[in-house]
Amino acid sequence: MSERGLPQVNKKSTLKSAIIKNFNKYKNDNNLQREPGWILRNGTKLTFIFFVLLLIFAFSFPFNEVIKGEVIVTSQNPPVHINAKTEGKILAMNFQPGDLVLKGDILGELENDSNTEDILNLKAKLDTLFNINSLKVLSEIYPSQLILGNDLQLYYNAFLSNYHQLLLDASINDEIVYDHQIKQELLNQFHSIDNKKAELFLANRNLEVSKANYKRFQELYSKGVISQVDLENIEKDFLMEQRQFHFLNQQYNQLILENKGIHTKLQLTTNSSLRTKRNLEIDLLLSQQNLINAIQKWEDTYLLKSPIDGRLSYFEVWGEYQNVEKGELIYSVVPQIQQNLIGKCIIPIRNAGKLKKGQKVNLKLENYPYYEWGMLRAKVGSISEVPKGGNNPGYIVYLIVENQKTSYGKELEFYQELNGTAEILLKEVTLIERIFYQFRHLWSNRDF
């Protein structure tokens, strides 16, 4: 081989090497593009196993359907709020915040045109029985110069006027004088009746004797012993005795009728006297009750009283002579003895048909964040039969809170009113049931 042929051999070797190299590169590129066989064999199995596990999870894993609503938790004896019944200034504040007050204590007084001490004294006297038998005693117990204001003065004047009428009627005694006169007339009538009765008895005896004598003379006349003139004289005497008896009997009956008339007059007089007195007493009682009612209305309007025993709390009002508006909240009285807790919850109308008494409830309170303190446990106590209207319609659900221990084991301090969210746990359903609920209407619609 010549030197000139050596480069040709090298060129052929180089070309062969390049072809082999390109073929290997092409082969490697095809292997990368083709899916490995283990994915085809095992991927389908893994997908099927995952789907089966998902179905098992959907069939076996239950969870609660929840209805949420706003809730206010308080005790069965909640705090009592006291609002102003009228606008004006506060004339007196008799207690400080945090003081213990009793039921009926006067916490404060609103501006008015009367003297509070005069009204309270008058109220105490109206509740007491007095033996008032003269106008002097009346003026001492119920003086006319009390400062009662326009709201009460007219009722007090009517009460005093009716009391005056009753005392005057009792002091004049016209009925007593007239009654005594009639009773004296009755006594005289009884004597006249007794005398007339005695006269009638004698007249009756004379009539019997005269009648017997007349019969005897009739027998003698029939035998011819006496003349007709003698018989006529005896008959005349008999008729006179008979007329006298009938006359006395008529007078006796007249006296009896007059006696009954006097009795009737006495009864009518007595009834009239009792009726007059009773009417005056009724008028007095009515005016007294009207006065008591007016005082009660005045107290409700101008006096701020505590309706329960408890601890006093102030709001926007802090001092005397401060102006307040009608309906403005002034005081709250928090009971000292806390009773069982209850919750009032407003539930939307949607899904409200699933609510049942006794269902479990989780309470998440704003005062105590649930992720830190946990949730209170409760249960449904009662459900309103009809929904309430307004801007936020829904059913009112009352909840029973058994204790103040949360799900984290922490004991909450109760502040009488706690706001939050109530989660009512409905019937447990599985995930697959929830999915099929969405398609149930397709089968139900095909039946029609």
> In which residue ranges of the chain is pLDDT below 70?
1-46, 48, 50-52, 54-64, 171-182, 265-274, 315, 337-339, 390, 414-416, 427-448
Distance, C-alpha 36 to centroid of its chain:
84
Same domain, 177 and 262: yes
Same domain, 224 and 147: yes
**Which residue, among 281, 250, 31, 299, has the nearest Cα to 151 in the 3D structure?**
299
Residue 411 lies in a domain: yes
370-410 per-position pLDDT tens digit = 888 888 888 888 888 778 776 778 888 888 887 788 888 88
Residue 33 lies in a domain: no
Residue 40 lies in a domain: no
299-354 per-position pLDDT tens digit = 998 988 888 888 888 767 777 788 888 888 888 888 876 667 788 888 888 777 77
Query: Of 335, 350, 385, which residue is a domain's last?
Result: 335
Distance between CA atoms of 344 and 374, rounded to whole angstroms?
20
Same domain, 99 and 149: no
pLDDT for the residue 292: 92
Task: Specify the CATH number for the domain of residue 423.
Answer: 2.40.30.170
Residue 368: give the domain boundaries.
67-76+339-430
Same domain, 165 and 264: yes
Same domain, 261 and 355: no
Task: Specify the CATH number for the domain of residue 139.
Answer: 1.10.287
Same domain, 257 and 346: no
Residue 172 lies in a domain: yes
Same domain, 200 and 171: yes
Same domain, 142 and 72: no
Query: Of 281, 302, 323, which residue is a domain's last?
Result: 302
Same domain, 251 and 327: no
Look up residue 339 and give its DSSP letter. -
Residue 446 lies in a domain: no
pLDDT for the residue 6: 43
**The total number of structural domains that make up the chain:** 3
Amino acid at 139: S
Residue 56 lies in a domain: no
The answer to whether 207 and 242 are in contact (CB under 8 A) is: yes
pLDDT for the residue 151: 78
Residue 31 lies in a domain: no
The answer to whether 345 and 365 are in contact (CB under 8 A) is: no
Same domain, 194 and 292: yes
Distance, C-alpha 182 to centroid of its chain:
56
Residue 28 lies in a domain: no
Same domain, 183 and 278: yes
**Which residue, among 237, 257, 254, 236, has the nearest Cα to 200 in the 3D structure?**
254
Query: Of 255, 277, 302, which residue is a domain's last?
Result: 302
Same domain, 131 and 278: yes
Angle at 232 between CA 231 and CA 234, to 5 degrees: 65
pLDDT for the residue 16: 56
Mean pLDDT of the chain: 76
